[in-house]
Structure 1
């Protein structure tokens, strides 16, 4: 009997562990880490140093709850198409690990907590930005743009840039030109980053009926537009140096990382449309771009 009881206990523990892991997964923790990183960098740049530890903790907590909550709503709403694509089929809802209604409630609770924490422990502007960022991703992008227009990534790119404004506002309780230019860096980075992924996952998006740019306009048009956004991103990064009072370390970093991503995007454009070697390399390079450029921003204020 003791052995049977122990087996039941282990089984119950395993179910609890699996459930907790599923709730963590619906917040898209890898993306959450990147968003938290950019938000933290914005706070450092706004302060031109190290902000209050309490403010940083409250800001990161509220921003993470906002981003994680909206990601949960995204997974709840997209559960039908997630099951059709190989890269998303193992997510908790299509895999049957967690019930959709639980994810919906979880996402709403996280969003509410985000605003409450920011309002009482940071400032009202940060609370408002958390709420707007949450609504932008969960409703504007997920429920309106994603399935209706190939411009879904372009217009929806603002959702991923909101943590910049949240980080800045948490320290300054206001926004200025530098904050908006940092916002614009993420906004302009999103199309070449996301379209590189969409190019080599085109068959999956087609199967799911999502009108990503390669699905609607084809790979050639997508690559040309990626180059255009990359050129604008390069220019924005330089303008940020001019107007943001950064030192030459940031300028050097911006030139280096923008040149690397521009080169990858150019090679992707040169590549034949049935090949995806440089699309994959561009996607990977774009991830390092965020780490490099935003690190250079922080070092560039010293």
Structure 2
């Protein structure tokens, strides 16, 4: 039986959509949006108002290219363990939709394009911090820390903390105290966020041979450290108050979010019966914490 021209056309369009979706997923768009959001918040706080539209487009666009490029490098380098882990087995390279070489070229190309874009149409400081974040994630974390030390997430947390520095410098051309506090907040947020994921995805990391904290030091030590980092996170979030107008309101909102996150880690630490459910719950709380605090900071900077 012959295949109709319409069927061939439909199959062709379907294949194009599949490949396009695969290349987009190489850039980890959900993580990219999260990073863009933190930079966007930093822009508003730095400006004490709505930043210039062109600056926002160029600054956030350049950051998106940098984040997407670093993510593609991460997937290229981790393609061997991604095939083993259930959580990552359906990524484009393990599925055979994108070749490793193409992912590498995409990652390097986006990184170069980001630097050029930010340097030409924003400023060199912004381009420098964007490049530092790119190299931190693609090289320092992915190629060095991830497979060598249980502190991979702690030290590697700096990779996701660069966007506020990019956003702040895009608007002002320099750095400020508040930008570094936002960096610290993301840095201290990262361990509890990723270790909660590692606790309920522990089997995946064991199969891949990744020395995550729960594997190397055990769940008890991991949970205790999660509580410590979350407490430090709460304290660090208060330091942002000096850069805001509605200071009392911010303290209330940041404290409420911090205590909710801290409560979740304490319950996880003290309950040995239902680790899977509580780890998932803590992970979800961590996902809500950072947007809540940064959005609160923006509101309290503007009113």
Shift of 1:271: 1.5
Structure 1 segments, 4+ long, off by >4 Å, are: none
Cα deviations across residues 58-104 of structure 1 (Å, max 9, x unaligned)?
Answer: 01100000001000000010011011111111111111111111111
Once the two structures are superposed, the pairs formed by residues 170-249 of structure 1 within 5 Å of their partners are: 170-241=170-241, 243-247=242-246, 248-249=248-249
- C-alpha distance in 1 between matches for 2:252 and 2:139: 38
**Closer, same or farther in 2 for the Cα pair 1:87/1:224, shift >3 Å?**
same
Partner of residue 113, structure 1: 113
Partner of residue 70, structure 1: 70
| RMSD over aligned Cα atoms | 1.4
- C-alpha distance in 2 between matches for 1:78 and 1:273: 33
CA contact (8 A) 2:268 2:275 kept: no
- SS of corresponding position for 1:50: coil
Partner of residue 95, structure 2: 95
Unaligned runs of 5+ in 1: none
CA contact (8 A) 1:249 1:300 kept: yes
TM-score, normalised via structure 2 length = 0.97
TM-score, normalised via structure 1 length = 0.97
Partner of residue 149, structure 1: 149
Unaligned runs of 5+ in 2: none
- C-alpha distance in 2 between matches for 1:51 and 1:173: 13
**Closer, same or farther in 2 for the Cα pair 1:120/1:273, shift >3 Å?**
farther
CA contact (8 A) 2:168 2:176 kept: no
Cα deviations across residues 153-178 of structure 1 (Å, max 9, x unaligned)?
Answer: 00000100111100111001111211
Q: How many residues align?
A: 301
**Closer, same or farther in 2 for the Cα pair 1:20/1:145, shift >3 Å?**
same
- C-alpha distance in 1 between matches for 2:278 and 2:3: 56
- C-alpha distance in 2 between matches for 1:246 and 1:270: 38
**Closer, same or farther in 2 for the Cα pair 1:273/1:77, shift >3 Å?**
farther
CA contact (8 A) 1:249 1:299 kept: no
- C-alpha distance in 1 between matches for 2:168 and 2:229: 24
CA contact (8 A) 1:111 1:134 kept: yes
Shift of 1:245: 3.4
- C-alpha distance in 1 between matches for 2:273 and 2:219: 6
CA contact (8 A) 1:246 1:297 kept: no
